[in-house]
Structure 1
């Protein structure tokens, strides 16, 4: 060791053991970084899907995979990839609070297929597909399974309905439109087939018929005709006849726009929580308002495992079957009407992640029913929800 001028020797003491070395590392130079928890493929998939869910929550629609907006297009392509895999759909079903994973039904008829050709893939500028000059070949709707018309049972219950519908047509409150697809063949609908008015009184249970290629589903109808007869033809058979024989549907002239969207049927449902969590059980008039294209019972069967349902069993207190109605728009309207009383609560899911349920509202059941009626009538724009009075009131009052 050298000696500094005017001073004694400088002593440097070296540690004599590993522990001493570590103890002397006051700057933490020898600290090892903690190894990050391994991210599994399942974690990455769930995180990716939750980004799509957040986009739906923020914008009120699913992301598009064809938009010029790069960030949205990325999410849209991600959702398309998920929907193409049944395994991914099954793995993410519990996180799907908006029904993003519900598979849309295919077109019910050629008319529906052509009507949904938004980008004109089936366009025929050359006229190659024009068969208007060919002889018309009428299909013979007859087979061993054809439903013959018989005398209608309890026709006296339906006769006033036909008379009322004729009055509406004369007064202009109802009108005839060309038949436009099987999504309109629902209970309560009126059609005109070969000059005779018919009423869809009932739709039977779905039957499944296996072929060598696939399993087809079909449903028997109870069609009551104004001449006092009835038939139990299949829904598909009636659709074919209405298409081939220039059938018409009878619709109300003043139906609000929300009821004229050609949308697959679904359910608006209202649930009550059966949670034994004191924080939740103490909330009076707590209801979840949601939409499902599948049956409500199937949708809620895993409620106890999902933060969407507050990790607890639920009870269905009301369902509203929707036909030819953009039910997701109806759901969004209800959410906006009751936005002020949305439940402000953070749940923790089974993996320890925070989750904020977005479809629970503190509002009396009767007010929800009233709001749906006002939406259907188109008068909801004149009302707001008064949370203190717990009722809908006209704006400006």
Structure 2
């Protein structure tokens, strides 16, 4: 007689009768993802980033990191394993406008080469503390007061672009467009790099197209128009005029100076010069800076460029993506001429 127990032999059990493998908990899965991210940081010395040009592995790890940050309230048991402070030491940003999963970068796997290539961001914008929020605080207070008093009525958002000085309500937060930089066309539509200030004293340098998309996605978003920013900042420090020299080795750049304005620190403005067409995709050297008092940075730039128009030189530069870009703020002149132009345009600098 056979020794096989036909009633209890696991090979003869039906699917319903076989013991089910224990499923890993959410915390265990998150712990495995955090271990992979920690290993990447130890190997490369930097956190994973999900942008064009990065490896598939790094972009997948960046997306896992974004998921861990979004779910950190449920993963308190993993805080001790976050040895690089990438998840729990990062400021919370529940209303973040530039989560890597929503940044508009291409899919990780590109399988249809015949499609028209999409414009890629030069980098993914992040929220960070606004260190000069005190100079924007009066404008925020004024807008809140005018809305409460009924003198200014928030309107539904129906725009293709935003303007310098405008205020919006996004996800319950008051948002101010403090600066508009590097205007260009993206996917055949006007776009620009913005400096956006939030009423929780943070800021972001996201693209105009990103802000417009978030405003359309939020059904409760509202516009509080205020394009004339001058009176809000009368007598206040509103930015800088900067004079730069490119470190590019291109012969046509020799002897040229770049003149522009910024509402933030000049060092912050040029920190990513090698990734931006406006700086010819090359590092730059800061030659001179002038502090603006009471002038909108954008309007100040228009006035200054109009005075310097006789010295203007239009440049074309090819970016890392193979596309050609225009660079419009370069002038063949000297620092003395620029100083006289600044003095002519602005009585308070």
Q: TM-score, normalised by structure 2?
A: 0.38
Structure number with larger C-alpha Rg: 1
Q: TM-score, normalised by structure 1?
A: 0.34
